[in-house]
Amino acid sequence: MLAIEGRNAVIEALRAGVPIKRVLVAEGTKPDRGLEEIERRAKEAGAAFARVPRRELDAKSERGAHQGVLAEAAPYRFALLDDVLASAKGKDTSLVIALDHVTDPGNLGAIVRTAEVVGADGVLIAKRRSAAVTPAAYKSSAGALAHVKLAQEANLVRSLERLKGADYWIAGASERADQTLWEAPLSGRVVLVMGSEGEGLARLTLESCDFLVRLPQAGRVGSLNVAQATTALAYEWLRRGAAER
């Protein structure tokens, strides 16, 4: 059973039809419009709705950030790369974000949130050595996991080759890149490949990229984390598309 924490995450999961088994609300939580919607949608979905002592939510919470609301759901159902390609079929402009062994669930959720906001057709992860869809991922996605196609494939490099065959350019994010995001061809059908938190892009993944791109840096602190960097690069893709329309 998977716990989804926080009002926004629970509301979005219910709106999108995530298979919720039970919704728990801390006793003494003041009623408001959001809580009324949660209760109504839970009942419409056939999910149990119960008020329980706050300590019960605290015990089930992974991060202690449940805001008095927690839903128990079936394990997350991943999409396939075929589903992502079907969504992008016939489009001149499409973005897929591929994660090369990003292992932090909070980063995964934040990247999925970015994908939803910029209108990406999907996010691609590998089955091994990748972050799981945990309550932390649901929380940081702010409900976007209920709307974005998150595909899980056994071999990331093979999947990138399939995307090339579907007329995508593969752009790898790397501090060693010659081109910044303002110079690189981040428009049209693009796969943005982001490396792991500690090691960046693996060698075989780097070799699969058509070009590399980096963020310019004026300050002295280390580079942005993978979720922040993804947001900056994805918004440049979105800006290019808006400018070309």
Give the pLDDT band of residue 230 (cuts 50, 70, 90). very high
How far is residue 174 CA from its own chain's centroid? 20
Do 102 and 16 belong together in one domain?
A: no
Which range marks the domain in which residue 225 is found? 81-244
Between CA 171 and CA 158 the distance in angstroms is 15
Do 214 and 101 belong together in one domain?
A: yes
Which CATH number does the domain housing residue 162 bear? 3.40.1280.10
Give the pLDDT band of residue 76 (cuts 50, 70, 90). confident
Which CATH number does the domain housing residue 10 bear? 3.30.1330.30
Domain count, the chain: 2
pLDDT at 48 over 90: yes
Query: Residue 245: its pLDDT value, please?
Result: 59
The tens digit of pLDDT for each residue in 118-167 reads 999 999 999 988 998 887 888 889 889 989 999 999 999 999 999 999 99
Domain boundary among 73, 108, 130: 73
Do 60 and 107 belong together in one domain?
A: no
Do 65 and 157 belong together in one domain?
A: no
Between CA 207 and CA 204 the distance in angstroms is 5
Do 145 and 106 belong together in one domain?
A: yes
Domain boundary among 43, 73, 103: 73
Query: Residue 147: its pLDDT value, please?
Result: 92
Kindly write down the DSSP assignment for every residue of 68-134, as one continuous string. Answer: TEEEEEPPP--B-HHHHHHHHTT-SSEEEEEEES---HHHHHHHHHHHHHHT-SEEEEESSSS----
Do 130 and 190 belong together in one domain?
A: yes
Per the confidence metrics, is the pTM higher than 0.75? yes
Query: Residue 60: its pLDDT value, please?
Result: 85
Domain boundary among 73, 97, 114: 73
